[in-house]
Structure formats: C-alpha cells, structure tokens
C-alpha cells in the first residue's frame, strides 16, 4: 500500500512542510475515540498521542486532529506507537456546533471527497434535517450524495413522493436502496472509487452500519434492533476510517442528535441554491424576503413554486448560524485573552 492509496494526493504534498527527520513520518488519522487516536500509514496502524507542544498550542477543539486528517508523526517503541506533532491543512471538512448550550466548533471528519447523507424512508425521513446535512457539506466544500435506505418498507408511490421532496431540496445525486433486498446496492457500490474518501452521515438506526457490513461482506460491526420497529441501529461511539476491498476509504460516524451550525452563511446559500437563484430576481440586492416590494422569493411562495416549510428552514438556519457565529467569535476573543494571560504568568515564573 502507498500513501496515495489512503488519499494522499498532490494537494497534500504541496501543503506538507519540512519537518525535523524524526517528525517527518506522514500518516492519516484512522480513528478517534474519546481523545484516543489511531493513525494509519502505508504499512501499519498504531495508537498515537499528541505531542506536548501541539497540545499546548491548540486553542480550540476544532484544531485537534480528527478522522481523515493527515499528520506528521514520530514513531517509537519499535514503531508500535506514535506521537502526533502537526496536523496538515485540511482540504475539506465536516463540522458542527458542539452539542448542548456551549458554542464551539466540533470537527466530525476531514479531507472528505463525498458525504453520503443517509436517511431512512421509514421513520427517519426528515427534510429539515436533510437541509442541515446539506449545509454542513456545502460549508466544508464536500460533495453530497443523498442515500434513502429501507425502501422495502414503503410503497413505490411513497418512495416517489420522497424522491420528489429531496429533488426539490438539492441538485445532489440521490440513491435509493434496500439493505434487505439489495435493491439499489449495485448503483451505490459504483460510486465508490479507489483512493477517494467517503463519509456516512445520518441518525442512529438509518442503516449506516448494515450498509458498511454489506460492503465488507461480513458482519464486522454489530447492530441491534430498535424496540417496536425491528430496524437496526448501531451505537457507534467513535469515528473511524475503513479501507474497503475495492480501495475506497469510508468514514463511519456516530448518529448525531444535534446539528447546530456556526458561521455557515456561505454553506447555507450553497445548500439552498433554489432560493439563491430566486433571490437574484429580487428588486433589491440586499432583500431580506420579509416585506420589500418586488421580492421574487415571496412571489414564489405565493404562487406555490417554493414550499413554505423550505423557506422557513432557510430563514431559521440563517438566523441560527448568525447568532452562534457572534457567540463563537466572542468566546474566541475571551479564550485568546485568557491564553495570553496564562502565557504572561508562565514567563514571569521562569527563573
């Protein structure tokens, strides 16, 4: 295996800087589990930890290594363990607001070529949640593909209705499949190319783990039944990189209950291309689509061309992102001020 088989391309080569010989090893973060890391290079996969200097320099959780990152490492203990000294720049990323009331950014995965946004046709189908995933992908410059699973649990007419809803929300490719019958699985496999990195996004129980097991040809990961539904769910607690037999790289992620957005203004516009196209016909360039005359967006709402729930989702995500962005920037200023204070104290304490 070569580093290129793990996704190391000319872009990363151009962004890799000279490091001391002992720190010049290149590897990819293969798994993150509660602060513990595993890295993978052309010949091995071993546990790794952050160098003390790197830990000291990190000012935000978003700067911590995440699955998919390329890092400079130093091996020790007969190459069975490693120390991470530097995280290379990220070409693409998937991130969200940390869960709960705390306003900070949390990395989900980095250097992703394509994100499979998985929704079940049964209980989990949720257009508003799909909007959030599409914005997340657009914000990180990741190509989205929507995957509708469990098509065997609904009728053909119901599937067509869901396909129409998704088609109205995005120009991204949409795949429909059933892990039980195998319908649509061949088309899904054909999207997986050697050396390319893919990520599975979706709630628990939508069939991500069953899909991975089918790709691997074995029950490598456990699933369990959801009470009363018979659907499979996987209580994944870590994000991990899986190398498939055809050479594609697949990142599995735990189901996410919260998908808060921070500073995703451009991503929101890219995730709502239909509204952006309508906005271009508004009389005023800075139209808020609230009360201005000559608003093309409100005209589309009144005529039924634009669904009211989609417009409502767009406005809600815009407000949420702007609000969290202000809170995040304020937090970053306070963190940096505190960091400078701590460093000044340490300097005074030196003999």
SS3 105: strand
**The CATH homologous superfamily of the domain defined by 3-87:** Nucleic acid-binding proteins (2.40.50.140)
Q: What is 265-334's CATH number, 3.40.50.800, 3.40.50.2300, 3.40.50.300, 1.10.40.50?
A: 1.10.40.50
CB 146 within 8 A of CB 128: no
| Euclidean distance between CA atoms 83 and 72, whole angstroms | 9
Averaged pLDDT score across all residues of the chain: 82
pLDDT at residue 146, as a whole number: 95
d(CA 175, CA 189): 11
The CATH 3.40.50.300 portion of the chain extends over: 111-252
Q: Which stretch, 22-26, 220-224, 235-239, 331-335, has highest mean pLDDT?
A: 22-26
pLDDT score for 4: 93
| Intervals of CATH 2.40.50.140 along the chain | 3-87
Residue 290 CA to residue 18 CA, distance in Å, equals: 53
Least confident of 42-51, 117-126, 209-218, 226-235: 226-235
* Structure confidence by residue, pLDDT tens digits, 166-214: 988 888 999 999 988 889 999 999 999 999 999 998 887 788 888 888 8
pLDDT at 231 over 50: no
Q: Where in the chain is the domain with CATH 1.10.40.50?
A: 265-334
CATH 3.40.50.300 describes domain 111-252: yes
Name the pTM for this structure: 0.78
Over 60: is that where the pLDDT of 220 sits? no
In this predicted structure, the answer to whether residue 232 has a pLDDT above a threshold of 50 is no
Q: pLDDT per residue over 253-283, tens digit each?
A: 876 655 666 555 577 777 788 888 888 889 8
Q: What is the mean pLDDT of residues 86-102?
A: 82
């Amino acid at each position: 295996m070569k580093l290129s088989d793990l996704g190391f391309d000319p872009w990363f080569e151009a962004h890799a800087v000279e490091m001391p010989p002992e720190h010049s090893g290149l590897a990819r973060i293969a798994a993150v589990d509660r602060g513990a890391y595993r890295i993978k290079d052309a010949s091995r996969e071993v546990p790794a930890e952050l160098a003390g200097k790197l830990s000291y320099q990190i000012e935000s959780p978003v700067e911590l290594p995440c699955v998919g990152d390329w890092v400079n490492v130093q091996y020790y203990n007969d190459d069975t363990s490693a120390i991470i000294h530097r995280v290379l720049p990220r070409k693409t990323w998937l991130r969200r607001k940390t869960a709960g009331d705390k306003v900070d950014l949390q990395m989900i995965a980095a250097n992703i070529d394509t994100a499979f946004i998985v929704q079940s046709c049964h209980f989990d189908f949720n257009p508003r949640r799909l909007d959030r995933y599409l914005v997340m992908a657009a914000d990180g410059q990741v190509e989205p593909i929507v995957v509708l699973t469990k098509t065997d649990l609904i009728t053909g007419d119901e599937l067509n209705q869901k396909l129409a809803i998704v088609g109205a929300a995005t120009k991204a490719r949409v795949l429909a499949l059933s892990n039980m019958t195998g319908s649509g699985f061949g088309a899904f496999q054909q999207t997986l190319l050697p050396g390319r990195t893919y990520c599975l996004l979706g709630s628990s129980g939508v069939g991500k783990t069953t899909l991975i097991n089918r790709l691997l040809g074995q029950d490598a990961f456990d699933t369990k039944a959801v009470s009363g539904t018979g659907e499979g769910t996987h209580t994944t607690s870590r994000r991990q990189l899986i190398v498939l037999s055809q050479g594609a790289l697949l990142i599995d992620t735990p189901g996410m209950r919260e998908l808060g957005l921070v500073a995703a203004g451009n991503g929101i516009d890219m995730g709502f291309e239909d509204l952006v196209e309508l906005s271009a016909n508004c009389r005023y360039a800075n139209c808020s689509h609230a009360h201005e005359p000559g608003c093309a967006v409100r005209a589309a709402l009144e005529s039924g061309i634009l669904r009211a729930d989609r417009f409502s989702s767009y406005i809600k995500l815009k407000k949420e992102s702007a609000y969290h962005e202000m809170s995040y920037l304020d937090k970053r200023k306070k963190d940096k001020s505190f960091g400078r204070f701590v460093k000044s104290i340490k300097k005074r304490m030196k003999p």
